[in-house]
Chain A
Amino acid sequence: MAEITVFEAQKIITMNASRPSATHVAVRDGRVLGVGDLNDMATFGAFTLNRDFADKILTPGFVEGHAHAMEGGIWNNAYVGYMDRYDPDGNLWRGSANMEEVVATLQRLEAEMDDADTPLFAWGFDPIYFGGARMSVAELDRVSTTRSVLVLHSNGHLLNVNSHVLGLAGIGDDTNVYGVLKDDAGKPTGELMEMAAKYMAYKATGNPFFGSIKHAALEGYAKSARNCGTTTATDLFATFDEGSLAAYREVTSRPDYALRLMPAMNTLDKPFAEGIADLNAAKKDSNDRLHYGLCKVMTDGSIQGFTGRLKWPGYHNGAPNGLWNMPPEQLAELVMEYHKAGMHLHIHTNGDEASEVMIDAVEAAQLAHYRPDHRHTLQHCQMADASQFRRMANIGLCANLFANHIYYWGDQHAAITMGPDRASRMDACATALRHNVPLAIHSDAPVTPLAPLFTAWCAVNRLTVSGAVLGPEERIDAAAALHAITLGAAYTLHMDHLVGSIEPGKYADFAVLDADPLAVDAGAIKDIGVWGTIVGGIAHQAAVKSG
């Protein structure tokens, strides 16, 4: 008989309502045998007592329902965002508080590069914090005039390049194409938007984000997860090409891989029947650390990119309505076909019009092919109002709300995109719960950092960067937030029988914390130290933060 290990903790928060807290948990075969006190443990038979975490708090391993494995690989490029960030190995990447700091960061990284021909790619640039200042070739030419320098904005829509890239791409004063921004003198500023301009830049320099997911990215993703107490995470927009499927299979087959990975297949780029067949075929590859079954649908764009699809009265600043990724009629057909085939849909909707179209589609699918427990989930669902949450509850739709947005861009949403009234109902966690919509909250890493305790802090406090409280009525309590990053998220992934709480039969996946998130001040939830994780009964210590 396999060995039993008993972990002792200061407190174990189980998220199992039948037995909410304990001091000991017995683990056998990577699964929870039972929780209780030391006396209860003796009833399971001989065990090894592990007291490494006797002064720690154990919670269920956190479940990140909406993030991307690119989080693990993007750090090969230069981070030039506003906030400090840590990479998977614990290295600090300092935020850039203004344009000069962005330039200084790039200059430093450029100086460290060996090969003169390798392009310098940077990501996370977010001048929304710089009070209207825009980057141009003037700044990037101070980084290099002989090496290609490309800076991708955090909104994903804009790309800044230096003169060297403009030259390679043949973009000059006589280029008159939408998306090539020009200054008053008619010269390209180096700011490129829309597909054609970005194509031209990448044609000249290569696109670092092109191609299958890499082994190294998946390894980095597991490290990032470990650092923040996450033991189950999605890769919520996965291309099911041979290279990516092989990478998922090979990396997760290693016994020390510290993450249960859930790739969600992109449904938009293939015929419905082919996508359904591909997903069913991929399921054969599933193992304890690789769980297939999710599909991703993209409907609209983003709110801060003004590409989300909004109902009346539209964008607060009068910007035109956003963009569909596919005709709504075809999106509805996709939902119908995948639903009929028993698939589990995760549907990106940012604007309330996009949410409405998808609620209509799922309702139609339920009427045609009733499924009692589909757990389709609206992802982001940032602008849903109470009436939409009521409908979602009626048809069994779950919500995974983008709580981190409140902190990162809440000020801009109140001032520019949504106005103060609608901004107060963004990512309306309390409304979702009031109407019994199963709730998860997420980071969308690498868009914002992978850190469920931070995401929970956002939902509990709703503080913005400026310190304002955005929509106090939508705050939820710490217990509800902890549920949303554990069992709540697990429910939206159809994984609540395996992860999300500490109870017999489930994977022995725990977050190992320095303090009790239910006991600390609401404002301190994000500051709780994370020792690391236990995945399948094996402990993985977080990277030591440096810098």
Chain B
Amino acid sequence: MNAAKQPIIFTVVGGFLGAGKTSLVNRILAAGGPARFAVLVNDFGALNIDESLILSQTGKIMKLANGCICCSLAGGLVDAMLELAKYYDHLDHILIEASGVSNPSRIMDFARIDGELRPGLTIVLVDLVHFEEQLDNKLLAETIEAQIESADLFLLTKSDLVSVAQIDHVTALLTGRQPLVPVVTLDQQQEDFASFLVFDDTALPPFSKPAGHHHDDRLLHSFHSIAMACDLPIDRARFSAIVKDHSARILRGKGVVNFADSLPEDGHSIWQQTGRLIEITNMPSPDNTPDISGTSRIIAISTDDLAPLEDAFRTLGFTPAPNI
């Protein structure tokens, strides 16, 4: 293991059969970008891969010309991950399409236990048409509940096939179980949203061009956003409590925060959040520290009104800072 290498971000796309996991994985692949990623799927055939990009295929592993790898889940997840582990030095990101009966938490455990991996998002897709029926199915009830339990973020699919009332109804069923998890309706307008969430690992704005990816600025027009700054040191416990309490409305939050209890050598902290996935880490190295003179700067976006979050941050001393 290369000590200097950053851990590989590990993302799980879960959800029940027919919820659109494969098409979401395909969208994320299409968005691509510079990240060298591996995608683990049941069926290579369901992926939209240009055959001219395939460099080689041996056993479970298909190598692509852009440095990415597709790995088959044939034989099970343990064997697939053991096979993929041979390529960890050349990967930035692993994306797993969980089977419809798996518990995404048990899959995310791979990233929790292996120091070469870092837990990323658990996205759970929910089929708006069939969700209620699935919840009522005694063969599936525990499976669905476990998937709901594991989500950092819900994406509702097939919104074009249901009424607004049905979307509200399903949203209420989900938030009743998981009040801290954002629920986003995935429609045509927002189809690149998931890949944006998966690949945006920058600590600072702008949202619209994260990490060299090319997202349409219009993507963000359907969202509420706030940008705030504060020159005073921030109370870590209160900050953590606020972002946790408001996690249902934080689709993406990030920033550089000067915590009052940080040691000088720790520098500033980076806050990254998508729904229930909250990460607060120290700056990786002083060289990368922007000169912000003790100022904390944060931004957040949501499909919901962010006024309650803005009010909460004000209690810490943050004020709006539109020029971030």
Contact = CB atoms under 8 A, between A and B. Distances in A.
Interface of A: 169-171, 175-180, 194-200, 202-203, 207, 210, 239, 241, 269-271, 274, 309, 320-321, 323-330, 353, 357
Interface in B55-102: 59, 72-79, 81-82, 85, 99-101
A203 B79 contact: no
B99 A326 contact: yes
Given A171-B113, A178-B106, A200-B114, A195 B77 contact: yes
Contact of B43 (A210, A241, A270, A326): A270
B307 to A, nearest CB: 36
A253 B142 CA distance: 48
A326 B74 contact: no
B134 to A, nearest CB: 9
Nearest to A353: B139
Contacts of A309: 139
Contacts of B17: 327, 329-330
Given A271-B43, A271-B45, A195 B85 contact: no
A171 B45 CA distance: 37
Most chain A CB within a 10 A radius of its CB, from B75, B76, B113, B115:
B113
Nearest to B46: A271
11 contacts: A170-B115, A177-B109, A178-B106, A180-B113, A196-B110, A207-B79, A239-B75, A269-B42, A324-B139, A326-B101, A327-B16
Contact of A199 (B72, B81, B143): B81
Contacts of B72: 269
Interface residues of B, number: 33
Given A195-B78, A241-B59, A177 B101 contact: no
Chain A: interface secondary structure? loop
B150 to A, nearest CB: 11
Most chain B CB within a 10 A radius of its CB, from A203, A239, A241:
A203
Contact of B82 (A176, A203, A330): A203
A173 to B, nearest CB: 14
A207 B75 CA distance: 13
Nearest to A268: B74
A201 B73 CA distance: 19
B246 interface: no
Given A178-B105, A199-B110, A357-B139, 17 more contacts: A177-B113, A179-B109, A195-B77, A195-B107, A196-B112, A200-B114, A203-B85, A207-B79, A210-B79, A269-B73, A270-B43, A321-B142, A324-B143, A326-B100, A327-B101, A329-B17, A330-B100
Nearest to A206: B82
Interface of B: 16-17, 42-43, 45, 59, 72-79, 81-82, 85, 99-101, 105-107, 109-110, 112-115, 139-140, 142-143
A271 B85 CA distance: 25
Nearest to B83: A210
B75 A175 contact: no
Contacts of B106: 178-179, 194-196
A170 B116 CA distance: 11
A196 B82 contact: no
A327 B100 contact: yes
Most chain B CB within a 10 A radius of its CB, from A175, A200, A320, A325:
A200
B43 A203 contact: no
Contacts of A357: 139
A178 B85 CA distance: 21
Contacts of A325: 101
Nearest to B110: A196
Given A203-B82, A320-B142, A327-B16, A269 B112 contact: no
Contact of A195 (B43, B109, B115): B109
A179 B17 CA distance: 26
B127 to A, nearest CB: 12
Contacts of A271: 43, 45
Nearest to B85: A203
Contacts of A175: 113
A194 B109 contact: yes
A241 to B, nearest CB: 7
A517 B73 CA distance: 46
Given A271-B45, A327-B100, A328-B140, A207 B109 contact: no
Given A202-B78, A320-B142, A330-B17, A197 B73 contact: no
A324 B112 CA distance: 24
Contacts of A178: 105-106, 109
A180 B112 CA distance: 11
A195 B102 CA distance: 11
A479 B101 CA distance: 43
Contacts of A203: 81-82, 85, 114
Contacts of B139: 309, 324, 328, 353, 357
Nearest to B115: A170
A353 B138 CA distance: 10
Contacts of A328: 139-140
Nearest to B111: A196
A200 to B, nearest CB: 5
Contacts of B43: 270-271
